[in-house]
Chains A and B, each alone.
Chain A
């Protein structure tokens, strides 16, 4: 007799068999073919969201390796992006950077996407990148992928003109403890430590950093208080539960105390206190037949505060204290006094009464309390349909919120949800022809935006490629641009009008075309590319000055800056870059850009406005040369030159052409199992020059850096 439970077991067998058979079959390894042996192991991914060799990619790209960063002696991101053709990189203040690809050089460049490990760090607060609070050190960077040309088709709205993906080092790439310190001019005192280890099955890397400097030297009008004190912590963890799955965690926090202001008005500088934090979780699964999946969720939060006591209102109105005290003691204020002030200010009697009641109020400037948050979730799938056809598609959702509070200025609380769907395909139509086609569709607060891109890559030989590419891009206005309503008021009385966004603000539009030639020589280590481009941007979100604003009354000049789709620009030109390892020890990098910009505003949109040409907002010529020689196993010598022709910065000054020469001498050593180096970096060995503003004088600077790594 069979016990009951055994009977049940036997009955269950066929069911178990049905359940198990497919999994058993699935568990059988697909047979191992020559394709497994010949698979590509490549790295570049930012251009089309999947791994492509440069000659296959639909846009021009530059990869800035860690080695290049080290050889250049770069101290910050401005130094790094001077190495890339087509880039304008400058100091707005000593610690506020303007970095943009093409277009108009301005205080807040807003047409380029920047990602750190695939996480967008584009801030809606200022519609730009806050480079200082990214929370990473240059030594955290493994490499940087720069897409030169519109990448909206792959990375969305903000990658309108180009995109940057900063890839940080994986925890497994470094072991043990690393200590780094830099001292130098501007009272620079930077230090950070990096520690990598394993916690159970989790590999992690932790960076703690502190940076301090006093900013640009004093001007004849007074000191520039644009120094910085920054502290940050950054954690990256990697967990690989199976061969196919990888989980990556990223956490970071930065706290920044930064001197902020317009260098043309040194007396108006004030401190901005910012804090930034992010959390990011990425799950990647490498499937069979090159089917790879990724789910990425992250959250960014940025808060900043800046208040400046401008003075007491009566002082600003030119009223002396006894008079102000006298008026303040009157209740109610007699109509003849109100009438007198009304005549002087041009304000109504009612407004003047309200203003006189506030004469002892302290007037606050600055941007107040600002806060932005972003939640983003994206799923992507890379696939290969055949030997000649592969691609990727993805879908994402994003929630952005922005709030501003200032008791006497701009106050807002807005949010936005947006959704995106993209696809990019690469078809090897022929042995010598690769066709790339892709598009991004975004559902934004200004409607549904479509950004397509198409390219033909003709592989003339294994070394030579010619690419023709066409892209259209759309950039939705940021939350700030769409919602700014910025005027200063005291007790309900507006005394200065700054900016107001057009309620009908819509997306900027771009059309770009390029023809590029890439050469990867049979000579070891030589590669260069030449790119001819033509870009046309319309409906540019720009500030047009309205001299007769109808909505509000104000003291002072009554000028109102209206944020509207009132600008345009066309740019055509050429870019060249070359990397050449002349010998095992000698490396040379050169790049050059010629850009012909035609830009301006459409005055017809506002009565009384006039045409403002902006053809000089980008340097016509820029280029650099870096040569680096390893003298022996200990010594490394690098020298670089960078030239930029003159330009007029939007929100800044007319800046003359300059040539700058930098040099670096490094000594590398071993101390037992520890390795270290000492570097002396000299920046601008020639004469002084200015960046962005006449008062931002870049003099000779010297930095001494040392690092020591203790392996685990």
Chain B
């Protein structure tokens, strides 16, 4: 742009005009100003945002509500739309930002608005990878905040619930086995023993889980495909209760069903991180990052009665939350 501008000006000026030194400085400043103005014009974000929801479920709506409230309050100049992924979609300017909440919304955004900048929220790393393969990014701005918590945080939580050098067990399914190396790295660094077993759709869950849970101090249920997770949840919760081994789940529902504790990303956590990203984006900051983010925030839920029966050393959700953050900070320091 700058080159094009200079060339046009140079050709438009009378011959010998540039020979005068003062004129040369004036021209330099004029060009600099134009150039700066041009830069601002490029960085100034489009003030139109579409919030696209995957479905009518409460968690999608809650994220959407949070973001809409933020935009209404802090950025009233933004022209906002909200739509369901499976409904009629509004016509959008090519530069309008699409905020997709959930996998279906992200898929719709990628196919229906292929050239618009995209912020995808509430999607798993696995589903985002699959979407990215199906819709390769060609000169398109994409940012994504994953819902799945880093597996290291599960190890920290296990350490808090079973202090000392606990033996932590987990089963790795088709989706969760990608986290194996990170699990091993974190556990080695923290000096905890890790028992891992693979599980797939053809496995006998009781034959795998029974010896695993019996030999461990904490069992971590890592999120995987629903069919697998449901089966693991059903048997692990029974076995854990019988053996007095705390089970760490990955959703509030897991805690309600009998897990001692769960680590998960709540809609509020996602919305909070999404708001922070939007703030940077709407401030036209050049620091806005078009990349993949792990969830910065997390929620802990404790099943008070199970924690009581298992006599867990810490049962206060806030306290555990703080301890986990301290452990994580310590990990991040060189």
Contact = CB atoms under 8 A, between A and B. Distances in A.
Is the interface on chain B under 10, 10 to 19, 20 to 34, or 35 or more residues?
35 or more
Interface in A241-280: 241-244
Interface string B120-133: 00111011001000
Among the interface residues A29, A32, A175, A388, which one has the most CB atoms of the partner chain B within 10 A?
Answer: A32
B298 interface: no
A32 B230 contact: no
Interface string B52-77: 00111111010000000000000000
B224 A36 contact: yes
B201 A388 contact: no
Nearest to B204: A240
A650 interface: no
B225 A29 contact: yes
A640 interface: no
Contacts of B102: 33-34
B231 to A, nearest CB: 5
Contacts of A525: 304
Interface stretch (A284-292, A357-365, A509-517): A284-292
A34 B226 CA distance: 10
Nearest to B228: A243
Contacts of B233: 41
A238 interface: yes
A523 interface: no
A30 B225 contact: yes
Contact of A387 (B57, B210, B227): B57
Contacts of A174: 242
B103 interface: yes
Interface in A173-187: 173-175
A173 B227 contact: no
A172 interface: yes
B205 A39 contact: no
Nearest to A174: B242
Contacts of B253: 38-42
A712 to B, nearest CB: 10
B230 A41 contact: yes
Contacts of A32: 124, 126-127, 174-175, 223-225
A172 B257 CA distance: 16
A269 B58 CA distance: 62
Contact of B308 (A170, A173, A198, A584): A584
Interface string B219-250: 00001111111111111001101110000001
A198 B56 contact: no
Contacts of B304: 524-525, 584
Given A29-B175, A39-B251, A288-B227, A173 B147 contact: no
A28 to B, nearest CB: 9
Contacts of B55: 387-388
B199 interface: yes
A428 B57 CA distance: 9
Interface in A13-39: 29-39
A43 interface: yes
Contact of B124 (A34, A41, A242): A34
B118 to A, nearest CB: 17
Nearest to A172: B238
Contacts of A229: none
B205 A31 contact: no
Contacts of A241: 204
A37 B206 contact: no
A36 B221 CA distance: 13
Contacts of B103: 31, 33-35
Contacts of A31: 103, 124, 126-127, 130, 175
A653 interface: no
A542 interface: no
B56 A243 contact: no
Contacts of A37: 124, 147-148, 223, 250-251, 264
Nearest to B264: A37
Contact of A35 (B58, B226, B250): B226
Nearest to B126: A32
Interface in A611-652: none
Nearest to B55: A387
B227 A286 contact: yes
A43 B238 CA distance: 13
B257 A173 contact: no
Contacts of A290: 226
B12 interface: no
B257 A29 contact: no
Interface in B131-156: 147-148
B61 A431 contact: yes
B210 to A, nearest CB: 7
A201 interface: yes
B238 A34 contact: no
B317 to A, nearest CB: 11
Contacts of A117: none
Contacts of B207: 201, 240
Interface in A501-536: 524-525
A67 to B, nearest CB: 8
A243 B201 CA distance: 5
Nearest to B315: A584
B59 A38 contact: yes
A286 B232 CA distance: 12
A170 B204 contact: no
Contacts of B122: 34
B187 to A, nearest CB: 23
Given A37-B148, A387-B55, A431-B61, A170 B238 contact: yes
B203 interface: yes
Contacts of B124: 31-34, 36-37
A26 to B, nearest CB: 10
Nearest to A459: B58
A623 B106 CA distance: 54
A288 B251 CA distance: 19
A29 B174 contact: yes
Contact of A33 (B123, B230, B257): B123
A31 B102 CA distance: 13
A244 B227 contact: yes
B203 A39 contact: no
B238 A173 contact: yes
B123 A39 contact: no
B254 A428 contact: no
B202 A243 contact: yes
A34 B229 contact: no
B148 A42 contact: no
B48 interface: no
Nearest to B232: A243
A238 B210 CA distance: 13
A241 B201 CA distance: 10
B200 interface: yes
Interface in A380-394: 387-388
Contacts of B175: 29, 31-32, 36
A694 interface: no
Contacts of A201: 204, 206-207
A378 interface: no
Contacts of A79: none
Contacts of B269: none
Contacts of A70: none
A34 B206 contact: no
Given A41-B233, A240-B231, 15 more contacts: A34-B124, A34-B147, A37-B148, A39-B229, A41-B256, A174-B242, A201-B207, A238-B206, A243-B201, A244-B201, A286-B230, A288-B225, A288-B226, A388-B55, A584-B308
13 contacts: A34-B123, A34-B124, A34-B127, A37-B124, A37-B223, A39-B253, A170-B238, A173-B242, A175-B242, A198-B210, A243-B202, A243-B227, A290-B226
Interface of B: 54-59, 61, 102-103, 122-124, 126-127, 130, 147-148, 174-175, 199-207, 210, 223-235, 238-239, 241-243, 250-251, 253-254, 256-257, 264, 304, 308
- Listed from nearest, the 5 A-B pairs whose CB atoms lie closest are A41-B257, A32-B175, A29-B174, A387-B55, A32-B126
